[in-house]
Structure 1
Amino acid sequence: MGAPIPRFLPCGDTAVTVEFGTEIDDGLNALCLVFDAALAEAAIPGVIETLPTYRSVLVQVDPLVIDMPAFETRVHEILAGLATDGRPPRRWIIPVVYGGEFGIDLEDVARSHGLTTEEIIRRHSSRTYRVAMLGFLPGFCYLSGADPSIALPRRTSPRLKTPAGTVSIGGVQALFASVEAPSGWHLLGRTPVRNFMPDRDPVFLVGAGDEVVFRPIPAADWDALDAAAAAGEPVAELVAA
């Protein structure tokens, strides 16, 4: 692929952001993920950890092992040989209880767009989302591919606490949360899926580059699925790999 020329943005003396663009764009994000994988495969001495985002990759380095000019040279070498990853993405079916106590903003979102709650659910659950990155807290899935017809700016008054598993929208983005946390997003529903469990293998179930489809389920199914998820079962269905 023809990779754009990156910008190298120092983050203190032990990290650097390799930035490929300034927009939220699936193409840029795909480049970040492929570059991140190639960087890991290169096993450059002094590179400690990487974190891909929508449009950049944060790289933690040991400056006593590799200096910035040498690191930048290696990055350009990797980019010159970078090839498109042809592997199909994994696709997960994520069960969601919409509305009521599980999605306390669903009615407000519907009212804001002059739609019924059923139509909001239909539009939200009919999309195939792409996991652009994990961020904010462990296992939080930031999703591209949201329906612009139901987009809303984030809340003017963020909540100090929202439950683990919230499924929400904010601006043109969608989110599948992992742990209890503050949020200014609009909560449409909740899933019993635990995307982050530190004692489970794998620790993260759904990862960057995967696809997600939300499947509405009745509130009556919640207790059984939540108990299964708490016991370590995926609950989410993997339908492609």
Structure 2
Amino acid sequence: MTIETGTISLLGTTALLFEAPGELSLGTQQRLWALAQEAEAWPEVREAVPGMNNLMLSFMRPPSRLAEIEARLHEAWLAVTPLARDGRLIELPVIYGGAPGPHMADVVNHTGLSVDEIVERHSAPLYHVFALGSHPGYCYLGGMDPRIATPRRKVPVLSIPGGAVSIGGAQTGVSASDGPSGWNTIGSSEMCFFDPQKNPPALLQPGDVLRFRVEKVIR
């Protein structure tokens, strides 16, 4: 079902995905956070999970009046007020290049920028945490300089370590644990992003702000 404010599609029989209209932005994410907060109070909804420019709703059981839920979601999106969260500012020390950043040369080749220029542009912004996903503790960040955007790798890497700082398309992120990746790793950090013994177990939450601090550059 396509509506003027976005697209709604079914995910099996007990979930749906609302994709917000327009380009990815902090303002859109803030509206999705607010929409998630409202939708979680609906009796049919088990969980509302904001993603990057989208919101997934899962249900207790297959809804009998799906059209009514879609209409309610449409109306809520039109009426919702963006939710501005007072998140924390987290500084992340990063070693760029060398063995910690094995794909820095690929980003250099694609962008035509030097290592120092890439590091400067990558570490300059304040990155807002838009959403959590992919794997426990992983945060999707908004605000990367488009001049260092680099396509994802044609052949994914079978395993990158937790703390790997990578670029994939127009986004950047930090791996919270060891695992495969199709992004370009340009550096590394030793900060722990997920600890199941803590509450909440994820270090960062949507609305928090991350700053990459240059600890060292290996050329």
Normalising by structure 1, we get a TM-score of 0.78
Task: Give 1:9's aligned residue.
Answer: 9
Task: Give 1:162's aligned residue.
Answer: 160
**CA apart distance, 1:26:** 3.2
Alignment map for 1:33-48 (pairs within 5 Å): 33-40=33-40, 43-48=41-46
Distance 1:87 1:27 in 2: 11
Task: Give 2:201's aligned residue.
Answer: 203
Q: Does residue 50 of structure 2 align to residue 58 of structure 1?
A: no
1:110-155 superposed Cα distances (whole Å, 9 cap, x missing partner): 3443433222211111111122222221222122211122221112
Taking only aligned residues, the RMSD between alpha carbons, in angstroms, comes to 2.3
Structure 1 residues without counterparts, runs of 5 or longer? 220-241
Secondary structure in 1 aligned to 2:192? coil
Structure 2 residues without counterparts, runs of 5 or longer? none
Distance 1:106 1:60, change over 3 A: same
1:209-235 superposed Cα distances (whole Å, 9 cap, x missing partner): 32211011249xxxxxxxxxxxxxxxx
Give the letter for the 1:119 counterpart. Answer: E
More off after superposition, 176-185 vs 81-90: 81-90
- Which of these residues, 91, 96, 118, is aligned with residue 93 of structure 1? 91
Q: 2:90 touches 2:209 (CA, 8 Å); kept in 1?
A: yes
Q: 1:152 touches 1:172 (CA, 8 Å); kept in 2?
A: yes
Secondary structure in 1 aligned to 2:37? helix
More off after superposition, 30-39 vs 64-73: 64-73
Q: Does residue 58 of structure 2 align to residue 27 of structure 1?
A: no
Choose between structure 1 and 2: higher helix proportion: 1
Distance 1:58 1:64 in 2: 15
Distance 1:157 1:29 in 2: 30
Secondary structure in 1 aligned to 2:42? coil
Alignment map for 1:155-234 (pairs within 5 Å): 155-218=153-216
Secondary structure in 1 aligned to 2:99? helix
Choose between structure 1 and 2: higher strand proportion: 2
More off after superposition, 72-81 vs 49-58: 72-81
Alignment map for 1:79-158 (pairs within 5 Å): 79=77, 81-158=79-156
Normalising by structure 2, we get a TM-score of 0.85
Distance 1:104 1:140 in 2: 20
Give the letter for the 2:12 counterpart. Answer: G
User: What percentage of aligned pairs have identical amino acids?
Assistant: 34
**CA apart distance, 1:25:** 3.4
Distance 1:80 1:159, change over 3 A: closer
**CA apart distance, 1:103:** 1.1
Secondary structure in 2 aligned to 1:36? helix
